[in-house]
Amino acid sequence: MPIDPTLIAQAAQHLLRGGLVAFPTETVYGLGADAGNGQAVAAIYATKRRPAINPLICHVPDLPAARALADFSPLAERLAAAFWPGPLTLVLPLRPGAGIHPLVTAGLTTIALRCPAHPDAQALLRAVGRPIAAPSANPSGQLSSTRVDHVQRAFSDQPNIVILPDSQSPLGLESTIVDGCGDTPRLLREGAIAREELQELLGGTLLDASAQQSSATGEATLKAPGMMRRHYAPRKPLRLNAHDVRPDEALLAFGANPIAGGVATLNLSDTGNLLEAAANFYAMLHQLDNTAAASIAVMPLPNHGLGRALNDRLARAIAKD
């Protein structure tokens, strides 16, 4: 069902007055601010308790709006043509004078750009007429929000945030981030577009995040800074690659033969479908995190397609700070 246009108009006004708006995208919810308003962007960092060295993704309604903010190489044009609007974020050289507050990019000379496909995100971007800086709508380091109740719970003490309702089921996993600054694309974050899909388009030339490469801006290219530390973590401890369940554990299962036992079981996909698993991933972790279990055991997930991105999130969730 399409969203009530008055909600979009009110949310757009709130953004233009420097307020924060949580809005659905086809990946996860974003917590948005006017990307040209330093105070509003600072409020994102404060609300999420996000370290100010971790830059934000800037959302635009279409390719022309993106070209006004960053320099697009032929490679970047090709990626945008193939995957926009959609769950791909491109890191590109920031155009000087683009009107993006330096807090958005954490002072870098590059900017992460994303053109979301979700109709409500599109409607909001067009109503505002300005780029919206938006990280995922969750406290820094914690589980991302795929449904409106996750956002409401995460920011229940922040009455000034306008939260748009959810109107369709999301892909459930953050966008794939590609650094398009150098001659060869680098995959900075696995996400809703599988590595195999990118490689099919690019003909196999895709570097890993750890690969060093000098960028078009002359600045050593960065890893996605937020990808290096503990992230995406539920409050309860996780136990990965579980082949058994302890009596006081909850189980995040996968496939046709879930292990028996434990306090509660949720199955990411009983047919072993990774698209379905991605869509359920954060919502099920939120649910199991709210049970009486002492910890959450997770069955092994295949390491191909979207399974790679899910395994990446799980590995970061158990990482030490």
**Which residues are at the interface with ligand TXA (CB under 6 A)?**
25, 27-28, 30, 54-57, 87, 89, 91, 105, 108, 110-112, 114, 134-136, 174-175, 177, 188, 222, 224-227
Measured distance between the N- and C-terminal CA atoms of the chain, rounded to whole angstroms = 42
Check: CB of residue 56 under 8 Å from CB of residue 102.
no
Span near Mg ion by CB under 5 A; candidates 34-42, 49-57, 115-123, 133-141: 133-141
Residue 33 contacts which entry, Mg ion, ligand TXA, none (Cβ below 5-8 A, type-dependent)? none
Please, which residue, 121 or 297, has the CB nearer to ligand TXA?
121
Residue 108 contacts which entry, ligand TXA, Mg ion, none (Cβ below 5-8 A, type-dependent)? ligand TXA
Please, which residue, 25 or 37, has the CB nearer to ligand TXA?
25
Among 54, 105, 110, 136, binds Mg ion (CB under 5 A): 136
Span near Mg ion by CB under 5 A; candidates 5-13, 130-138, 192-200, 295-303: 130-138
Please, which residue, 136 or 267, has the CB nearer to Mg ion?
136
Nearest-approach distance from CB 265 to ligand TXA, in angstroms? 28
- Measuring CA to CA, how many Å separate 221 from each of 108, 205, 210? 10, 17, 10
Q: Which of 49, 53, 11 is nearest to 33 (CA)?
A: 11
Check: CB of residue 80 under 8 Å from CB of residue 198.
no
- Measuring CA to CA, how many Å separate 247 from each of 132, 169, 301, 314? 46, 32, 22, 22
Query: Residue of minimal CB distance from Mg ion?
Result: 136
Q: State the helix-helix crossing angle for 74-83 and 195-202, rounded to 10 degrees.
A: 130
What length does the chain have? 321
For the chain, what is the radius of gyration of the CA atoms? 19
Please, which residue, 21 or 253, has the CB nearer to ligand TXA?
21
